[in-house]
Structure 1
């Protein structure tokens, strides 16, 4: 049995991790001083998402109605996504660094559970204030999630907060080391989640009010269906664009994402024109004070990643933990596609021939990589040569995202879309508008 102090020793390599029963496998603690010593920026991000999850939960309970169920659905949907990725070989293509609280055999950090409400809940609430038609809203939610995710993805992968599989064909095309399919994934899975959350309400619910609760049992059925079917719905959206263009015709994933982005943006714009043609935003309620909690979280979200770029150096960080297994460079695993094609990826990370330039072995004794068979080892985060460029890109995207979300909260139909769930009558609404 490997002790924690040995597990987190610099330069130690292990080909197996033994757990003392199911509970020990399910839940593990990492010394917080270890994370702060080797990856201090990761610890900040860990607490940022926990804070964001609690802020969104607080907002959900303040506003009531279906919002607490929306929050729960985002968490369960996220767990379904993560577990599928860990246990299905075809999509097992990323490994998180260790944080103070880990789950599922040290694969799942606590903050990743809260990442999904930070993305999905935030985007859903903000987009709802546009009063888009049902056929348009899910795609706007998908775009909103990408806006929240993109800076996090670009900055954190360059700080080594996780690593991607080196040769998986679905993530081989990168943008500052972020797979273009990461953005495609967030957009489509968020859209699918939104479709199912509203569709189950229509089928199972007995209220025409979009955000009024239909009672605990019915809402929990909606939550479970949304959590489970959000994933296959997202996968289906890969079929008409990504798989034929990339897998068959070898078109770069940047192009397939831009196709998807254009379609989502067009549907959002058409829906917005339709909504504003029927109602005037000038006749809406004032912003509820709880919306400022969400705005504050978004400001803190983007400020944290910009602060990392300005005050931390990725080249000072070291990652010790469970990672892609190291092994022979000539062994491959099949990757099955919906069109029946069988692609391939390396079964193991080849330590002498890989293309993930954000980490290497330069900090290890004699710069020697871990031996074959290692699943727990030390990697050295590389200082990007273009850190200023990454910082400028992150700053630009952060400004754009904040302008979008602040306008959604303050300059659209406002919190009037949620007022009826608090029991306000039409008479009360009229008085407020005077």
Structure 2
């Protein structure tokens, strides 16, 4: 056991950390200059999410009504997801790199708390302007969330912002070292939270005949928000059962196949709902409120941040010291319980035979690999296999995102589609005066 003091020198390795008290375990603060020296791109990513969290929160305050409950609910939903990921052994399969402020035994970076509003709040507000039927909206939010997530996932893992478990069967199939299940997860969990958030409002709130963004009494809204925050995770897990688990666990299909099956189903539901909305609302002209540009600003910062990383930075210069997959014997196998049976994975990272090509140990003095038992150790970034390809992929995603969010915000039914009754009345009165 090692005390939580000077742990961040490249090359150190320890089996565990000894925390002096609860607060020492709960939160750790470290020098930002250290992080800029060793992982500058990680700080850029953190800035993008902290700014996004602030801008989406300001947008929610401006819109008021249920938007503030949506923002808080998404934040709580994210905390539930993250804590389950750290403390449930069968899904404990990734480790964030260290940040200037980090919580829960140095597992939860500050910016990850605001990642979920950056993804889900952005998607929820933009999709609402399509005025889709209630049965289609959650699936559109799910795919829109994936669109915001893709550049973050691809760039961040290649720049060592976190590391994955090497042999976990649920994340073994990769795309640029990103598990296909990461996209599957974001689509399902975002759809689940969105469904529950609006479902409980329709069932519990007295003004259910009003607009879906009009708030009811505070206590009813708090209950709706808490229920959605808690049920978003199990709902997302259940959505893995009909497609992913039988096809992947039983019939051994690649996770890429299961994701695109899910993608196709979501897209068909969204398209059907969009056509229905257009038929029923073909006389509405879109109007954009100033608050929308807070969301646009965050989207610009978000996509720009992950585009400049492969252009101006090199992942081989990144050094990540912190908690990672424990190092140990190569022959130690443990079960992974799934709905359709038991799969297997190595209990430890086998440093002589691992398939995580986005890091190695070249930056450690004399390239000494971490000894068996190491849980806190140093990983070194490696060069991109094809820098131009990475830039091209992220550029394409940025172009797609630009087209999608431009159409959602400016070419759909506009901000009046998500206006509360109070604002809608004010706008209507102003039109009559004109």
Kept in 1: contact 2:4–2:18 (CA 8 A): no
The residue that corresponds to 1:354 in the other structure is 354
1:62–1:426 Cα change, 3 Å: closer
**What are the within-5 Å matches in structure 2 for residues 159-170 of structure 1?**
159-170=159-170
Kept in 1: contact 2:4–2:17 (CA 8 A): no
How far apart are the structure 2 equivalents of 1:110 and 1:2? 24
How far apart are the structure 1 equivalents of 2:243 and 2:429? 45
SS of residue in 1 equivalent to 2:336: strand
Kept in 1: contact 2:323–2:376 (CA 8 A): yes
Kept in 2: contact 1:30–1:98 (CA 8 A): no
Name the TM-score, length of structure 1 as normaliser. Answer: 0.97
* 2:163 paired with 1:193: no
How far the C-alpha of 1:21 sits from its partner, in A, is 1.0
* 2:366 paired with 1:366: yes
How far apart are the structure 1 equivalents of 2:297 and 2:13? 42
**What are the within-5 Å matches in structure 2 for residues 208-357 of structure 1?**
208=209, 209-280=211-282, 283-339=284-340, 341-357=341-357
Please report the RMSD computed on the Cα atoms of aligned residues, expressed in angstroms: 1.5
How far apart are the structure 2 equivalents of 1:426 and 1:383? 56
Kept in 1: contact 2:286–2:410 (CA 8 A): no
SS of residue in 1 equivalent to 2:6: helix
1:432–1:190 Cα change, 3 Å: farther
**Cα deviations by residue, 1:275-303 (Å, 9 ceiling, x for unpaired):** 000012x5245100010110111011101
Name the TM-score, length of structure 2 as normaliser. Answer: 0.97
How far the C-alpha of 1:422 sits from its partner, in A, is 3.4
How far apart are the structure 2 equivalents of 1:274 and 1:432? 30
How far apart are the structure 2 equivalents of 1:427 and 1:233? 38
**What are the within-5 Å matches in structure 2 for residues 134-145 of structure 1?**
134-145=134-145
1:427–1:299 Cα change, 3 Å: closer
How far apart are the structure 1 equivalents of 2:382 and 2:361? 9
1:429–1:125 Cα change, 3 Å: farther
How far the C-alpha of 1:365 sits from its partner, in A, is 2.4
1:350–1:429 Cα change, 3 Å: farther
SS of residue in 2 equivalent to 1:102: strand
Kept in 2: contact 1:142–1:191 (CA 8 A): yes
How far apart are the structure 2 equivalents of 1:76 and 1:382? 35
How far the C-alpha of 1:427 sits from its partner, in A, is 8.1
SS of residue in 2 equivalent to 1:121: helix
Kept in 2: contact 1:65–1:421 (CA 8 A): no
1:364–1:423 Cα change, 3 Å: closer
The residue that corresponds to 1:65 in the other structure is 65
**What are the within-5 Å matches in structure 2 for residues 3-42 of structure 1?**
6-42=6-42
SS of residue in 1 equivalent to 2:328: coil
Q: Structure 2: 5+ residue runs without aligned partners?
A: none
1:336–1:432 Cα change, 3 Å: farther
Kept in 2: contact 1:283–1:433 (CA 8 A): no
SS of residue in 1 equivalent to 2:287: coil
Kept in 1: contact 2:13–2:375 (CA 8 A): yes
Q: Structure 1: 5+ residue runs without aligned partners?
A: none
My pick for the range that moved more, 299-308 or 359-368, is: 359-368
How far the C-alpha of 1:430 sits from its partner, in A, is 8.1
How far apart are the structure 2 equivalents of 1:421 and 1:407? 24
The residue that corresponds to 2:88 in the other structure is 88
**Cα deviations by residue, 1:144-169 (Å, 9 ceiling, x for unpaired):** 00000001100110000000000000
SS of residue in 1 equivalent to 2:306: helix
1:112–1:426 Cα change, 3 Å: closer
How far the C-alpha of 1:4 sits from its partner, in A, is 6.0
How far apart are the structure 1 equivalents of 2:432 and 2:73? 32
The residue that corresponds to 1:124 in the other structure is 124
How far the C-alpha of 1:52 sits from its partner, in A, is 0.2
SS of residue in 2 equivalent to 1:112: helix
Q: How many equivalent residue pairs? A: 432
1:418–1:429 Cα change, 3 Å: farther
How far apart are the structure 2 equivalents of 1:301 and 1:433? 40
